[in-house]
Amino acid sequence: MSLFNIHFFKEKSRKIDLEQLIAFFESIEGFHIEMDEKSVRLYYTHPRLQHESLFVITPKSQVPDIYRLSPKFLDLNFHLEMPILTPDYIAKHVFEIVKKVCDRFDFHVYNEMFEDVLPFKMDVVLKVFDMVKRAYITKNPILLSDYRILGKEKLSSMLRYLDDLGELQNYYKELDTYVPKYHFLVTEKKDLVVGIEWKEHTLTVFPPHLDYIFYRLANEIKVISYEELFPLIEKYTMDVPGFIKGTKVIPKKTSGKVFRIMKKQKFMKISHTFQKESLKKLID
């Protein structure tokens, strides 16, 4: 897969304190460092979402057309490689690390789409990354048949939910409330759908953008359309405080009414068969 690169420069100096730089990366969760005479490789895996990128120090410059850049900035032979199809939510997270590196070591940045070396600016880097990703998606329709393209806002809110899942589970533990993971699934028509499990008589959080609920009874699992279910229980749910819009929870005080609805209601029968889809196959 094609990569999006950010090259690091310094004004009038090539000096990097390698020991301090490595210590900086080692202090960030998700980094794994390897080195030999060819390069220093700082592998990054997002701790909860598993997307990967790589920071590399090489013996020679990897910057294309370096001669056309301002001579007052010197290439540090240090750059970031990130897959172009990285979702924006993850890309922003990686660029936050880039910003911290630049602030800490007084680095500037360069990408082939820039006119010249620049101080790091999040809005500029995100805009350029988005342009490169759009162009890549337009040029490679066949390659993309392996992926599921979602709206930016939709995928970002689902990734944020998964990123914050542990914190949310801790918050709701004392309230005996289940905080489910998403199930990303493909129907026999090759449509991507999103579901969660919900166990009978259990207080539960409903994350945003659901299609199906896998409702677990004592001896069976019912597949229920969220579109059919939610209007019946909406007034008995509440927003998860200070969290992603559209994330709902069943509070204890109205749970009896919800459980009664679940017992009495005859839901439409869902005939789909589902296959699992990898989170890494979802792009925006």
Stretch 134-162: mean pLDDT: 90
- Please check whether residues 125 and 172 belong to one and the same domain: no
Stretch 48-77: mean pLDDT: 92
- Please check whether residues 171 and 265 belong to one and the same domain: yes
- CA triple 93-95-99, angle to 5 deg: 120
CB neighbours of 38 closer than 8 A, spacing ≥ 6? 58, 59
Instruction: Report pLDDT for 210.
Output: 96
Given a cut of 70, whether residue 1 has pLDDT beyond it is no
d(CA 44, CA 52): 6
> Contact 112/125 with Cβ under 8 angstroms?
no
Stretch 91-101: mean pLDDT: 97
Stretch 209-222: mean pLDDT: 92
Share of the chain above pLDDT 90, in %: 77
- Please check whether residues 112 and 246 belong to one and the same domain: no
Quote the domain boundaries for residue 264. Answer: 152-280
Domain boundary among 103, 124, 146: 146
* Domain total of the chain: 2
Local structure of residue 235 (DSSP, 8 states): G
Stretch 72-81: mean pLDDT: 95
226 confidence band (pLDDT: 50, 70, 90)? very high
Summarised one tens digit per residue, pLDDT across range 235-266 is 999 999 888 888 999 999 999 999 999 999 99
Total length of the chain: 284
* b/e code 156-169 from CB counts within 10 Å (16+ = b): bbbbbbbbbbeebe
Given a cut of 90, whether residue 191 has pLDDT beyond it is no
Given a cut of 70, whether residue 171 has pLDDT beyond it is yes
Stretch 46-73: mean pLDDT: 92
- Please check whether residues 56 and 185 belong to one and the same domain: no
- Average pLDDT value over all residues in the chain: 93
- Please check whether residues 205 and 115 belong to one and the same domain: no
Say if pTM beats, i.e. exceeds, 0.85.
yes
- 3 state SS for 141-186: CCHHHHCEECCHHHHHHHHHHHHCHHHHHHHHHCCCEECCCCEEEE
